[in-house]
Amino acid sequence: HHHHHHHLTISLFPRLNFCGHVTLVEESSQVQRFFDQLTFNMEGGRKLWVGGNWKMNGTRASITELIGAWKDVAITNDVDVVIGAPAPYLQFLRTEMRDDFQVAAQNAYKAAKGAFTGEISVEMIKDCGATWVILGHSERRHVFGESDELIGEKVKFALENGLSVSACIGETLDEREAGKTMDVVVRQMQAIAANVTDWSRVVLAYEPVWAIGTGKTASPEQAQEVHSQIRKWLADNVSADVATATRIVYGGSVKTGNCQALGGQPDIDGFLVGGASLVPDFTDIINVSLD
């Protein structure tokens, strides 16, 4: 599985005085050992990402309580923490919450401004101090009828205008039972990938719809199988580098009791957490031990 790393841009390793691309000769076992180690480090190099999606929950009082509970908790992992708050509380949350936790909106429209009653714009989100947006969540797709095409347009606009995006994909129970999981995931991925040029600001969230808020969780093996196929799809349809670097997180009834088994899978790079992000011990998920 090391074959696609043969050409390395050595600018990642400033202590080596090479320019451009260097082809490593494989005859030497020492070089091969160095190469294997390098590949391992690069594959293991995806920074943990833990998102909390509050959905349509919270009041100033409950949010103030959570902010207080999380304020002084030591974060032991190297992790991006992103909290998805309802639009009315984005600015309040950004002002009051600890600085190392980032803020996300739960949706955004595909136009800069205008006659779109009830929508919020990317500029408004940034103006409130938030840096992320969750797009394509299954509730947007299934409760509010958002199409793959619309979600793709939203992803494009958000990225072009400076937000990072957590893009959600996943199948319903009917689709899984009909054996269509990967057909659905690929269809959703195609609409997203066609609209991304800078993958460094995209996190993919695989959320099997049947596991969201139902208490049913995909087993670590079920989740890993889909995550690895998403990564393979990225390698085949975008690039090997994007497949290696892009974080694919799992969502669907993640809690303190199952996050370690899920996070231990090689292609699960973190979590998008629903209900379990509305309580003080969400920080236990952030600090999950993945050694």
Q: Among the options 65, 137, 171, 177, which is catalytic? A: 137
Dihedral of alpha carbons 23, 25, 31, 37, sign: positive
Is 137 noted as a catalytic residue in this protein? yes
Query: Residue 241 carries which side chain, given as an amino acid letter?
Result: D
Q: Which residue stretches of the chain are H helix?
A: 29-43, 60-70, 90-96, 122-127, 138-142, 148-160, 173-177, 181-193, 220-237, 240-245, 259-263, 282-286
Q: What is the DSSP string of 223-254?
A: HHHHHHHHHHHHHHHT-HHHHHH-EEEEESS-
Strand pairing category for 7-9 and 21-23: antiparallel
CA angle 260, 52, 187 (to 5 degrees): 85
- Taking the C-alpha atoms of residue 108 and residue 123, their distance in angstroms, rounded to an integer, is 10
Catalytic residue among 139, 146, 207, 227: 207
d(CA 134, CA 121): 13
Determine whether 207 is an active site residue. yes
Determine the Cα–Cα distance for residues 136 and 145; give it in Å rounded to an integer. Answer: 10
Query: How many Å apart are CA 88 and CA 105, to the nearest integer?
Result: 10
Residues serving a catalytic function are 137, 207
